[in-house]
Amino acid sequence: MKAPPFAYAKPRSLTEAFDLLERPGAKILAGGQSLIPALNMRLSSPGLLVDITGLPGLSTIEARNGTVRIGALCTHSQVERSPEVREHLPLVAEAVAHIAHPAIRNRGTLGGSLALADPNAELPACALALDAVLIVAGKKGERRVQASGFFKALFETDLKPNEILLGAEFPKATKSVFLELARRQGDYAIVGLAAARRGAEKRIAFFGVAATPILLKPTSLEQAKKSIPTPNGDLYNSPATKLHLAGVLLERAWTTLS
Ligand code: FAD
């Protein structure tokens, strides 16, 4: 199918972008790897696409003191190849390699993935496990949101209409584990897990089990197992199968994190 008709604008500054986003029916377009298929399937019909890929300063990856800041317009491929991400955020480096295929990773962005909040996506779970801070801008200025308060419901985040996600700051974490079960390499996960250790604390974020990624901070493996919520089933896997698979991933992750 073809997308319904829409107008298109490519602002060159945040001020221009915020003005455009005030128009009725305006929607942000980044890599287009989720939004354009949704338009083509007529699941969305915005009157104006505001293409933010021309905004300056949102495509950099910077390691500072204890964090790595990744700009919202960094593509998954850029994140995958980044030496800073590989060194300080091995969890994110491993996770992005599981996102779709190279053609999609070449265009899809970190900001798009976090803003979309697909419950089966890898990066929202990484943001939760690493306790990332998301940097959001609106006409009145910037605000910072902990990942734990950002993912509100199915495809719903703390972003207000007309706000733009500028990037995310991830605390450096070298002790981590990423595990994902998918039908084929590049498919969305059936169930997956992003986990990191911070001091004595184990932070385990499941994806593909509920409407949002779910963060557990268990003190024992038994407690962790009991805390996994009964997952939603999908076309091929029952809730019981997914719960079993989540438990298997958890046991594997526990050994690596301990
Ligand atoms: P877009 O499609 O441009 O936008 C997505 C949504 O986010 C829109 O609502 C848009 O308005 C909003 N948005 C985008 N950027 C911002 C911003 N900076 N601030 C505020 N709002 C913003 N993803 C996975 O995680 N795992 C997978 O396994 C996976 N498999 C895929 C397989 C296929 C075949 C396809 C087509 C896509 C797949 N994706 C997968 C999705 C892909 O990762 C997308 O790139 C990502 O979800 C959205 O990023 P984008 O830059 O393309 O955003």
CATH 3.30.429.10 correct for 175-257: no
**What is the tens place of the pLDDT at every residue in 14-46?**
999 999 999 999 999 999 999 999 999 999 899
pLDDT of residue 190: 94
Name residue 76's amino acid: H
Residue 6 reports pLDDT greater than 90: yes
Domain boundaries, the chain: 7-50, 61-171, 175-257
Nearest to 190 by CA among 151, 224, 155, 234: 234
Q: Decide whether any atom of ligand 1 lies within 6 Å of the 108 Cβ.
A: yes
pLDDT of residue 232: 87
pLDDT of residue 258: 87
**What is the tens place of the pLDDT at every residue in 135-190?**
999 999 999 999 999 999 999 999 999 999 999 999 999 999 999 999 998 889 99
Q: Is the pTM of this model over 0.85?
A: yes
Within 13 Å, how many C-alpha atoms sit on residue 166's CB side?
A: 19
Q: How far is the CA of 108 from the centre of ligand 1 (A)?
A: 6
Q: How far is the CA of 54 from the centre of ligand 1 (A)?
A: 17
What is the third-level CATH fold of 61-171? Answer: 3.30.465
pLDDT of residue 61: 98
Do 61-171 and 175-257 show the same overall fold? no
